[in-house]
Chain A
Amino acid sequence: GENVEQHPSTLSVQEGDSAVIKCTYSDSASNYFPWYKQELGKRPQLIIDIRSNVGEKKDQRIAVTLNKTAKHFSLHITETQPEDSAVYFCAASRGNDMRFGAGTRLTVKP
C-alpha cells in the first residue's frame, strides 16, 4: 500500500517567518494530496488539497506544491502567526487507498 513520510516532526519558527513541511509518497499512482491541521484538543480539519494534474495551489498564506516526478509535495505557510501553531498532517490517495504522514508539530513563537 501507499507509504507517506513527513518531515520534520517538529518545527519552531518566529512569528512572521515562513514554514515548510515536506512529504514523500511511494505510489506513483497517487493522485490526491490533502493537508489537515489539528489544533490542540481539536479535530483535524482540511486546510488545502491538491490533485495530480496541478503543480501548485495557493490559498492566502498557505500553498502546496507537488512534484510528481520526485513523488513529493510540500506545504508552505508564509507570514506565520501564533494561531498557525498546530499539528499538520499530509496524506496521499490513489483512489482506493489513502494514508497519512506522521504529522509535524508547528510552533510559532510570538
Chain B
Amino acid sequence: KAGVTQTPRYLIKTRGQQVTLSCSPISGHRSVSWYQQTPGQGLQFLFEYFSETQRNKGNFPGRFSGRQFSNSRSEMNVSTLELGDSALYLCASSFEYFTGELFFGEGSRLTVL
C-alpha cells in the first residue's frame, strides 16, 4: 500500500511569491490534514479536509488556503510569501482524522528568501 506522497519535496521562493503544495493520501483515506513544522514550534495545525470539505482550520492568516479534490488529493496554497513562512509543511491522511492514526508524508520544505 503506497504511503502519503507530498510534492515537491524542496522548493525555494522569494518574498511576495505564492506556492502550491500537493498531497496524495493513502488509498481509501478521505481525511487530509496539513501542518507547519518549524524548530521549537512543533506541529502547527493548518486545516483538515474530509470529502472535499474543510472541517477545521487553525490560527493562520488567510494567505494560507487549501482544497481537496474528489479523489481525496489535497493542495495547499500560500500567497504573498513572507520570510517567516519558511518551514516544513507536512500533510497527513487518515481514515478518520479526530480519532484515528495519522499517516504523515515526508513533507515539503519551503525556503523563502
CB interface residues, B 8-47, toward A, < 8 Å: 35, 40-45
Contact (Cβ within 8 A) B98 A95: yes
Categorize the interface residue count of chain B.
Answer: 10 to 19
**Complex contact B42–A98 (CB within 8 A):** no
Q: What count of chain A residues pass the 8 Å CB interface test?
A: 25
Contact A46 B101 (CB under 8 A): yes
Q: Chain B residue with minimal CB distance to A97?
A: B56
Once A45-B104, A89-B43, A102-B41 are accepted as A-B contacts, the answer to whether A95 and B55 lie under 8 Å apart by CB is no
> Top 4 closest A-B pairs, CB basis?
A102-B42, A43-B104, A100-B43, A103-B42
B residues contacting A by CB (< 8 A) are: 35, 40-45, 55-56, 90, 97-99, 101-102, 104-107
On A, residues with C-beta under 8 Å from B are 6, 9, 31-32, 34, 36, 42-46, 49, 51, 89, 93-103
